[in-house]
Structure 1
Amino acid sequence: MNRFDRFLWLLTLIGLLIRVAAVFVLNDYRAPITAEYGIVAHNLVAGKGFTGGGWLGPEQPTALNTPLYPLLLAFWLWIGVPLPFLAVELVQAALSALIVYLIGKVAAQIFNHVVGTVSAIGITVYPPLIYFCKQVSPAILTAFWVALVFYVVVFFFAQPTGGRAALLGVVWGMGLLAEPILLAAVPGVILLYWFRQAPSERWCSVWPLAGALLLAALIVLPWTVRNYVVFHRFVPLKTSFGLNFWMGNNPNATGFLYTMAGEPMPHTLPPERVAYLASLNEAERYAVLQREAWQWVIAHPDRFLELTIKRIGYLWLISPTFQITAENIVEPSYFYLLRYAIQIPLLILALIGLIIAYRHYRAALLICLWWLVAFTMPYAISVAGNTRYRLPVEPVLVMLAAVACAAALSRWRST
């Protein structure tokens, strides 16, 4: 193990201690809000399978979310430890701490070791990656898998062997069961890497990549088959996009989950429409809503564009949801103000880093930009109501900010 790796592991340990301390200080593990994830987890433990209440329908088989996080909750409920959600939050603390090492290695590989060092330090003390450890939601799990997939992709292309291709396939497949956006993010990054190679070398990586794709598909396949058997339609990962697309594109749409009057968006539907939707299975219900949303978008392209611009702002700054309604808002108001205070300087530094990377690290910049675009688009066209949605790719912003900080450090040393 070289000196840089030892330093990264030391930061990882420090990050773990900070996160574990935060879990106990924040003390939200005795009876936390678990939303739909807890419902599915309890049903799994009770032998009912992946069933839940869902939106606009009764409790029935669900694929509203991918299975990895409910399975994590169900495991700790099933083994019967006294404080199962404390165990969940401690696992999340460990996964969040591992992001320190993963991002440090990625940044060192695609930029340089100074950027890798600064990135790792930033991730170690980055408040959202500390705070969300205490929340029973997929935020930390998805952030970890996104970082791990990013790491494996980068190191596959550093040395595209069969073993690394197999690892890429397994990690990508498992990552898809945690975060479906990886379905688009990973191929884009792979293509960017592939076209960077000399034409004579590109084809050497085709078969390993094909093997990785096959492995990822095989890992996802049982879940997809289950969904087809349950819903009688092709649902590769989750059903929720149709619902979210409708909530973001209808006559009452605001860009987040509520109307401007604070009414949950599903409450705007007339009772007879709700009754009809409830008679369908989950996949059929959200497919109907998705078709209606597309019809609305085609009829109102100017309004769709306006909402899309707002949603991008809500995603990368903060949604006004907490100012409009108290429903499902479990964090104190100062939490959202602190997110502003953190996010705005981070975005400014990341923009400076982007300009520097354009001059000196153009290939790395393209990879980071694709990662950001891939995770922005689904929310830009649907809803951007929760701050946790962007957490999986906030480490990319930290890396770009680290480019700016490393450049400033270099200039200071040279004076």
Structure 2
Amino acid sequence: MTTTHSHQRTVLLGLVLLSLGARFAMLKDNLWRLGEEVDGYLKLAESLSDWGTFGSKDVPTAYRPPLYPLLLAPAYWLQRTLVLAWGWRLTAIAFLHLCLGAGTAVLTWRAAKKLDVQRWSVLAGVLVAIDPLLLHHSRLAMTETLAAFLFAASLNLLLAADSRPRALHTLVAGFVLGLGMLCRTTFWSFTVLTVFAVVLFQRTARSVRVKWVGLLLAAALVVQIPWAARNWIALGRPVLTTTHGGYTLLLGNNDVFYDEVIGTSWSRVWPGESLSDWQEQVHRESGAASELEYDSFCYRLAWNTIRSRPRDFLLSIGYRIVSFWRLTPRETEYYPWWVRLGCALFYVPELLLMIIGLAGRRARQWPGVLLPTALLSFTLVHAVYWSDMRMRAPIMPAVAILAVMGMEQVTAWFNRQPYQQEPVGFGP
């Protein structure tokens, strides 16, 4: 027992150090990038700190999910209150990202062990610790780092709730899934498909499954109540997700995008000038007096485009799925050839092993089916809404675990031994 605990402590320390070291190397000369506005989260955090408003100064918004800015807001408040240097806030955000990154690697390893991955469970944590997508976004003020952590945490808690079927464990799992929804709205899809996975694959009595699903959904939805209530008061509508969905749907389903990208070459990047002109045109045509009206306008325009051009819509689904699972970022000035080569060298073997893992029995049985459930839920959303490879960052822990499952099968083949599938799940 002592030897086992010592080994686990060594693995834990090794994963933490590897994850911290890899992210520190990314941040060392790029700390300034954490102060660079990308998706508006820094402005929201600053407004929360200075005005007490989730929005722009005293104008409320629900355009972005609230959790990540809420985590950043204390750094802004401390900087202003204690009159600290600008770099202190960036260091605080970097520290948060370092902790979340290390936690994600450790939680991935723990989830792999819970899924009875034997010799290669450590590799799952290593893959997450050095994952190019996760490393890249650790130096940006965006939700990918937090979302990956919450996914790994929710996966662990779902597995714990299955192995120790107590109400508290299921409630905590639902609570963390609810936090995920407040970080990335794609967690809604994962939660819904998890419910279906429980119903279809969990080998327990129907009453047990109904109770499990009920507690999970109740906890996840309770977490949304403060956000929905705030939106009802501030915006006049109890928005459960965000007012960004219409634009995201329209971004990938409009005449200009269909004509300039879908109708030409899937390797082409939508030209920045054309994109800017299109955005200005949509704003002018909407005539929206509020972001709720603009969101509704974007949804209507997107669905009109889809109905009028069904063939291009089907082609665009393929484009978005390919974009979601790309091996390398598209060739631009921001991603030189050596960056793209490094991504390919990492993702080609990982995704090939993931496919082998998906073909194994564990990925089709409870609770291992949670892994393909995660992949499917995120892929389905981004098959319709805007997509690129960063959108899969939150589910990279699932990809890593499936890859090590594939590695176990490959090593069994090379050793010419039948692959021993240990039973998983805790139902009768």
TM-score > 0.5 by shorter chain: yes
The equivalent residue for 1:398 is 400
2:126 aligned to 115, 121, 129, which one?
121
Q: Give the Å deviation of 1:37.
A: 0.9
Distance 1:164 1:85, change over 3 A: same
Q: How does 1:278-297 map to 2 (within 5 A)?
A: 279-297=288-306
Q: Give the Å deviation of 1:196.
A: 2.9
Distance 1:320 1:411, change over 3 A: closer
Contact 1:89 1:136 in 2 (8 A): no
2:384 is the alignment partner of 1:381: yes
The equivalent residue for 2:98 is 93
Contact 2:109 2:125 in 1 (8 A): yes
Contact 1:19 1:133 in 2 (8 A): no
Distance 1:26 1:410, change over 3 A: farther
Q: Give the Å deviation of 1:212.
A: 3.3
2:197 aligned to 184, 192, 198, which one?
192
Q: Structure 1: where are the runs of 5+ without partners?
A: 54-58
Contact 1:29 1:86 in 2 (8 A): no
The equivalent residue for 1:104 is 109
Q: Give the Å deviation of 1:362.
A: 2.6
Letter in 1 for 2:304: Q
Q: How does 1:270-309 map to 2 (within 5 A)?
A: 274-275=283-284, 277=286, 279-309=288-318
Q: Give the Å deviation of 1:214.
A: 2.1
Q: Give the Å deviation of 1:282.
A: 1.1
Letter in 2 for 1:263: E
TM-score normalised by structure 1 residue count: 0.86
Q: Give the Å deviation of 1:367.
A: 2.4
1:22 aligned to 9, 22, 25, which one?
25
- The more displaced of 396-405 and 339-348 is 339-348
Distance 1:307 1:114, change over 3 A: same
- For residues 287 and 334 of structure 1, the distance between their equivalents in structure 2, rounded to whole angstroms, comes to 42
Distance 1:279 1:319, change over 3 A: farther
1:42 aligned to 39, 43, 46, which one?
46
Q: Secondary structure at the match of 1:252?
A: helix
Q: Give the Å deviation of 1:398.
A: 1.4
The equivalent residue for 1:161 is 166
Q: How does 1:63-78 map to 2 (within 5 A)?
A: 63-78=62-77
Q: Secondary structure at the match of 1:134?
A: coil
2:153 aligned to 140, 148, 154, which one?
148
Contact 1:142 1:179 in 2 (8 A): yes
Q: Give the Å deviation of 1:65.
A: 1.3
Letter in 2 for 1:14: L
Q: How does 1:298-377 map to 2 (within 5 A)?
A: 298-317=307-326, 323=332, 334-355=338-359, 357-358=360-361, 361-363=363-365, 366-377=369-380
Contact 2:178 2:219 in 1 (8 A): yes
Q: Give the Å deviation of 1:285.
A: 0.3
Deviations 1:305-335 (A, max 9, x none): 1111011111111687653xx6xx6x66643
Q: Give the Å deviation of 1:266.
A: 5.3
Q: Give the Å deviation of 1:96.
A: 1.0
Contact 2:193 2:373 in 1 (8 A): yes
Q: Give the Å deviation of 1:290.
A: 0.7
Distance 1:11 1:44, change over 3 A: same
Q: Structure 2: where are the runs of 5+ without partners?
A: 418-428
Q: How does 1:167-206 map to 2 (within 5 A)?
A: 167-198=172-203, 201-206=205-210
- For residues 290 and 169 of structure 2, the distance between their equivalents in structure 1, rounded to whole angstroms, comes to 40
CA-atom RMSD in angstroms: 2.9
- For residues 286 and 219 of structure 1, the distance between their equivalents in structure 2, rounded to whole angstroms, comes to 24
Q: Secondary structure at the match of 2:385?
A: coil
Distance 1:51 1:322, change over 3 A: farther
Q: Give the Å deviation of 1:20.
A: 4.9
- For residues 242 and 298 of structure 1, the distance between their equivalents in structure 2, rounded to whole angstroms, comes to 16
Deviations 1:182-227 (A, max 9, x none): 112023223323433445x231243354233222222211111112
Letter in 1 for 2:177: W
Distance 1:111 1:303, change over 3 A: farther
1:250 aligned to 249, 254, 257, which one?
254
The equivalent residue for 1:56 is none
- For residues 204 and 260 of structure 1, the distance between their equivalents in structure 2, rounded to whole angstroms, comes to 50
TM-score normalised by structure 2 residue count: 0.83
The equivalent residue for 2:78 is 79
Deviations 1:104-141 (A, max 9, x none): 12222224222423312322333333332222211101
- For residues 117 and 348 of structure 2, the distance between their equivalents in structure 1, rounded to whole angstroms, comes to 25
Distance 1:354 1:213, change over 3 A: closer
The equivalent residue for 2:425 is none
Letter in 1 for 2:9: R
Letter in 2 for 1:168: A
2:239 is the alignment partner of 1:235: yes
- For residues 29 and 377 of structure 1, the distance between their equivalents in structure 2, rounded to whole angstroms, comes to 35
Contact 1:64 1:240 in 2 (8 A): yes
Task: Determine what percentage of the aligned residue pairs are the same residue.
Answer: 22
- The more displaced of 143-152 and 78-87 is 78-87
